[in-house]
Amino acid sequence: MIKIGKYTEKAHHISFIRDEARMFVTDAYQETNIQVTQKGCVELLVGMGKEKVTLRNVKELLACAAKKMKVHQITSYQVDMEPLIRETELSSICLAVQGIYEGIYEVLLPGETEMELPEITITGIKEFQLSEADAFCKEGIVLGEAQTWARHMVNAPGNLLHPMDFARTILEKMEETSVSCELLVYSKLNAMGMHALTSVGKSSENPPCLLIMSYKGNPGGEVTGLVGKGVTCDTGGYCLKPANSMMGIKGDMAGGAAVAATMYALAKQKVAVNVVTAIPMCENRISTSSLVPGDVISSYSGKKIEICNTDAEGRLILADAVSYLVKKEKVDRILDIATLTGAVVNMFGFSTAGTLGNDENFYQEFERGFEKSGERYWRLPIYEEQEKMIESEIADIKNMGRDYCGTITAGLFIRAFTEEKPWIHVDIAGTAWVDCPLYAGQPKGATGAAVSTLYYMMKEKE
Ligand code: BES
Ligand code: ZN
Ligand code: ZN
């Protein structure tokens, strides 16, 4: 339970102080000071560093501090936000709460019960700002829960979360909200001609599916389409991944999890926007029904696709999902998000996601979204010569360029199915999963990347 409240001396607390040391950088924990006050309470002093504190820093500071309290098994404490709000703005309360959730996160296997949250009181709020502060606190709780849920789904082992389990997990969660859901199962997808999705999915005996969700918070207004890659296990197929690249392949549905968690947060917060999401879910494995390089498949759009590499499966299933939202749901603009390319990891490592976009207004909303969330994104260019790299001689398009600018060609492949709608492409292959955490709020494994950015982006539309 996290709430706004009054300061009392008789409680453990976290205080932020101006200090030379920036304690929110890596290895911060060793430098944070614990002291015991005269009242017998533990006070955790956290240095803010010398430079101006940003919203991103607030999230980090709180993640670091909450983690420290957890290590000391302190489950009830207050946090004096006054210095942080003075440095930033009142909305930093929302980021602080998200930071707490990030910091205390623990991996949970499907079926295990969630740990109990600490009792936290946020203090240092001026009387006249109490109700606004309370709203930011509640928003932070919703985002923290949403991101935690996304992390759990992404961390779920591939053998315990098959495509249909993934769908069911989301359907159950959405019962708490006003989101309407429709699950298109394998037979239906086949009948509809969604062969870009089914050609990948039929590589496994665990069938593929497409989860469509709709949230109408602003009836009559523009509709944004969100598409997230939901490959619950990506072995690479016949273009098999090397053994040492296989850890983490269960996390290839992080885009789908981010979209589901965003939808959950938007609906919980009753944000006045319209969103329709499509999450294509499948496995990419080896069997007699798997694709092999050289195959040509049809797709929901009618375009024929030449398969050059079976490990480039994400763009195939995203293509059908994007076509579905454009053709059937008539969305006005579309964003796709996926753990799509190793190339983006080579470029930006694990802190920054790569993006593409063809519409300045839409992209600006995305930018304002990530300014608020504190996550890092970097936009790549789009040129005609890159488009040529995925032209096929025997089909309309091929699923791989050459070995260069792989993040861009992957995005351009998806753009070919957007029918010229305003579009943003987000490649979170580096940021969705980390083996060596970079920040206090980043655990080993799933990070819950992009959930709050997508949420804030949609709030910009409100
Ligand atoms: N899911 C992977 C991308 C990935 C790589 C995610 C590393 C997380 C960490 C994707 O399906 C893939 O294998 N992409 C290939 C595409 C290539 C064959 C054109 C890649 O990037 O190697
Ligand atoms: Zn792959
Ligand atoms: Zn993949």
- Whether the predicted pLDDT of 335 surpasses 60: yes
Q: Is 232 in the pocket of ligand 1 (CB under 6 A)?
A: no
| Cα(414) to centroid(ligand 3), Å | 14
Question: Average of pLDDT values for 331-338?
Answer: 98
The answer to which of 290-299, 326-335, 438-447 has the lowest mean pLDDT is 438-447
pLDDT of 248 reads 84
pLDDT of the residue at 423: 98
Closest atom of ligand 1 to CA, residue 340: 3
The DSSP code sequence of 171-210 is HHHHTTSS-EEEEEEHHHHHHHT-HHHHHHHTTSSS--EE
Q: Tokens 């991996």 belong to which residue?
A: 107
Ligand 1 neighbourhood includes 283 CB (under 6 angstroms): no
Please report the atom of ligand 1 found closest to the CA of residue 245. Answer: 7
8-state DSSP, 399: S
Residue 40: pLDDT over 80:
no
How far is ligand 3, taken at its centre, from the CA of residue 308, in Å? 15
pLDDT at 22 over 80: no
> Does position 44 have pLDDT exceeding 90, yes or no?
no
pLDDT score of 33 = 62
CA of 344 to the centre of ligand 1 (A): 9
Q: Which residue, 345, 321, 322, 153, is CA-closest to 232?
A: 153
In this structure, which residue's CA is closest to atom 5 in ligand 1? 342
3-state secondary structure of 38: coil
Please give the mean pLDDT across all residues of the chain. Answer: 94
**pLDDT tier at 255, thresholds 50, 70, 90:** very high
Instruction: Compute the Cα dihedral for 427, 419, 221, 225 and give only its sign.
Output: negative
Output the pLDDT for position 35. Answer: 65
**459 in Cβ contact with 82 (< 8 Å):** no
Please tell me the residue having the least CA distance from ligand 1 atom 22. Answer: 342
Q: Which atom of ligand 1 is nearest to the CA of 241?
A: 13
Give me 244's structure tokens.
């040492």
Taking residues 347-366, report their average pLDDT: 97
- Residue 229 CA: nearest ligand 1 atom is 1
Q: Could you give the strand order of the β-sheet that contains 12-17, starting from the edge strand earlier in sequence?
A: 2-4, 119-123, 76-80, 12-17, 42-47, 33-36
137-166 average pLDDT score: 98
For the segment 220-232, what is each residue's pLDDT rounded down to a tens digit?
999 999 999 999 9
Which range among 36-40, 87-91, 177-181, 363-367 shows the weakest confidence by mean pLDDT?
Answer: 36-40
Question: Which residue has the least CA distance to atom 13 on ligand 1?
Answer: 311
pLDDT computed for residue 20 by the predictor: 56
State the Cα–Cα distance between residues 108 and 122, nearest whole angstrom: 27
For 420, the token pair is: 């010229």
In testing the pocket of ligand 1, which one of 284, 311, 315 has its CB within 8 Å of the most ligand atoms? 311
Q: What local confidence, expressed as pLDDT, does residue 304 receive?
A: 98
Helix (H, G, I), strand (E, B) or coil at 269: coil
Summarize the confidence of residues 146-168 as an average pLDDT. 98
All residues with CB under 5 Å from ion ligand 2: 234, 311, 313
- Compute, in angstroms, the gap from residue 266 CA to the centroid of ligand 2: 30
**156's torsion region: left (phi>0), alpha (psi -120 to 50) or beta?**
beta
Q: Would you name the residues annotated as active-site residues?
A: 241, 315
Q: Specify the range with the lowest mean pLDDT, choosing from 25-39, 293-307, 326-340.
A: 25-39
Check pocket membership of 240 for ligand 1, CB cut-off 6 A: no
Beta pairing class for 274-284 and 230-234: parallel
pLDDT score recorded for residue 32: 55
Q: Of ligand 1's atoms, which has the minimum distance to the CA of residue 410? A: 19
Structure confidence at residue 12 as a pLDDT band (50, 70, 90): very high
3-state secondary structure labels for all residues of 64-107 = HHHHHHHHCCCCEEEEECHHHHHHCCCCHHHHHHHHHHHHHCCC
Residue 343 CB less than 6 A away from ligand 1: yes
Give the E-state strand segments of 285-365 in sequence order.
296-297, 305-306, 333-338, 352-357
Give tens-digit pLDDT for 391-441: 999 999 999 998 899 999 999 999 999 999 999 999 999 999 999 999 888
Per-residue model confidence (pLDDT) at position 39: 66
Please tell me if the CB atom of residue 312 comes closer than 6 angstroms to any atom of ligand 1.
Answer: yes
| Rounded average pLDDT over 11-30 | 62
Residues whose CB falls within 8 Å of the CB of residue 402, separated by 6 or more in sequence, listed in order = 389
